[in-house]
Amino acid sequence: MFDLAIDGALLRGRRVDVAVRGTRFAAVEPAGTLAGAAARERIDGARFLLRPPFYNAHTHQAMTLLRGVDDDCALMDWLRRVVWPREARLTAEAVYAGTRLAILEGLRSGCVGFNDMYFHQPAVIRAAAEMGVRARVGLMFMDQVSDHIENAAAWALRDGLPPTIGLSLAPHALYTTTPELLRRVAARAAETGLPIHTHAAETAAEAAIARERFGFGSPIAYLDACGLLRPGTVLAHCCHVDDADLALIAERGCVVAHCPQSNQKLASGVFPWARAAAAGVRVAVGTDGAASNNGLSMIAEAKAAALSAKLGAGSPDALRFADLDRAATEVGAAALGFPEAGRIVPGAEADCILVDLENPAFAGGGDPDANFVYAADSACVDTVLCAGRVLMRGRRVADEAAILADARRAAESLRRAAD
Ligand SMILES: [Zn+2]
């Protein structure tokens, strides 16, 4: 007896039957093969494209509550003047409400996992666990801030976390930390085996700080000297990198979380995808926080990643769709610490989405998977599964009305506190 069967959906150009048992795919067979097999729940896949879901490789989920506070500002000024004073007033309840809102928005675009770096981490863990998505929750390190970083409280939860949630060590960036703090984080990563997640080489201003304050030719060289470039380290942005930096990132086994819309909106720079891929760097895709994007749709982010790579290299074949698709799904899952998710094959973790082919984006022909990323939007994502659980069906997510009401309340009290 299977827990769930999806009959006759379109997977990579062929019709298949898929069965789920527990948290994993038990069978992926040509359509019709599993028609007689018993299953507790069945979905008719005839009108659906079946795909691996997205995994958001870099975000600050609860920044949904800061969306739109200032949309025309460069990173350093934006952080100091706009973001940090508001974040100082965030409560655990607000972070919980903002994170749930972000997870809802992610699910609607077909995203089932996120790599987070934010405050009040126990609230982030609670939101992810309750909504059934995968999360890698960062223990935050910043020199100037300590009162609402709840690293100890999150660390205390580590043995009771569900298999869909893990922790990381997340020093914010080189300009908010001392070298001593970064070295301590690197030592702790070596000791605990936890992956590192940090902003890296995002802006020209950050590159200047690496040179002038720390005496290094590049942010990547400096972060490596502090010991942060380790296997599995996720480096967000990497706009200001040369070929030596890219070779080092590849050699150390790090992953770049490419955040093209945030990079464009803050005019931070362009991540050189084609040069990175040629150097052997693994690349995943992230939205960054909702205050610098401003949407959390991974469909839109994946398309922006392709456009940024093509325009940046001055060549339309700088990034092929198959490589983009793998980066936003399979590589993202691995970057979050779930190497057995992100592929629809027997034995893999049962994460997938069903996309409604009765949408204008699919009626004119062409590769349906490419049409999904390049022509469609969240409106055509019908069903989302994570670890065998149906988290969205017919575009409905559990507790939607409460999630929206709580987020409105939390945003309003944050706004009142700012006045
Ligand atoms: Zn970020």
* Cβ–Cβ under 8 Å, residues 353 and 329: no
Categorize the per-residue pLDDT at 416 as very low, low, confident or very high, splitting at 50, 70 and 90: confident
Over residues 122-134, the pLDDT tens digits come to 999 999 999 999 9
Rounded Cα distance between 221 and 218, Å, is 5
Where is average pLDDT lowest: 66-80, 104-118, 186-200?
A: 66-80
How far apart are the CA of 144 and the centre of ligand 1, in A?
Answer: 17
| SS3 call for 317 | coil
Average pLDDT of span 247-272: 96
How far apart are the CA of 304 and the centre of ligand 1, in A?
Answer: 17
* Cβ–Cβ under 8 Å, residues 113 and 333: yes
Cβ atoms within 10 Å, residue 371: 21
How far apart are the CA of 385 and the centre of ligand 1, in A?
Answer: 27
Mean pLDDT of the chain: 95
* Higher pLDDT among residues 82 and 173, named by residue: 173
How far apart are the CA of 346 and the centre of ligand 1, in A?
Answer: 35
How far apart are the CA of 310 and the centre of ligand 1, in A?
Answer: 23
Per-residue pLDDT, 148: 74
Over residues 176-234, the pLDDT tens digits come to 999 999 999 999 999 999 999 999 999 999 999 999 999 999 999 999 999 999 999 99
Average pLDDT of span 7-33: 98
How far apart are the CA of 139 and the centre of ligand 1, in A?
Answer: 14
Angle between helices 92-108 and 400-418 (to 10 degrees): 130
Categorize the per-residue pLDDT at 88 as very low, low, confident or very high, splitting at 50, 70 and 90: confident
Per-residue pLDDT, 309: 97
Per-residue pLDDT, 79: 82
How far apart are the CA of 46 and the centre of ligand 1, in A?
Answer: 39
How far apart are the CA of 213 and the centre of ligand 1, in A?
Answer: 22
How far apart are the CA of 340 and the centre of ligand 1, in A?
Answer: 26
Average pLDDT of span 256-283: 96
How far apart are the CA of 372 and the centre of ligand 1, in A?
Answer: 26
pTM for this structure? 0.97
How far apart are the CA of 39 and the centre of ligand 1, in A?
Answer: 42
Rounded Cα distance between 241 and 270, Å, is 10
How far apart are the CA of 4 and the centre of ligand 1, in A?
Answer: 37
Rounded Cα distance between 299 and 408, Å, is 25
Domains annotated on the chain, with CATH: 2-52+349-395 (2.30.40.10), 54-335 (3.20.20.140)
How far apart are the CA of 265 and the centre of ligand 1, in A?
Answer: 13
Average pLDDT of span 263-270: 94
Q: Could you tell me which residues are beta bridge partners of residue 136?
A: 115, 166
How far apart are the CA of 292 and the centre of ligand 1, in A?
Answer: 8
* Cβ–Cβ under 8 Å, residues 387 and 333: no
Per-residue pLDDT, 72: 85
CA atoms within 13 A on the CB side of 206: 28
How far apart are the CA of 336 and the centre of ligand 1, in A?
Answer: 15
Per-residue pLDDT, 419: 66
Neighbours of ion ligand 1 (CB under 5 A): 288
Over residues 326-335, the pLDDT tens digits come to 999 999 999 9
How far apart are the CA of 316 and the centre of ligand 1, in A?
Answer: 27
Per-residue pLDDT, 292: 87
How far apart are the CA of 18 and the centre of ligand 1, in A?
Answer: 36
**pLDDT over threshold 80, residue 144:** no
How far apart are the CA of 19 and the centre of ligand 1, in A?
Answer: 37
Per-residue pLDDT, 350: 98
How far apart are the CA of 313 and the centre of ligand 1, in A?
Answer: 24
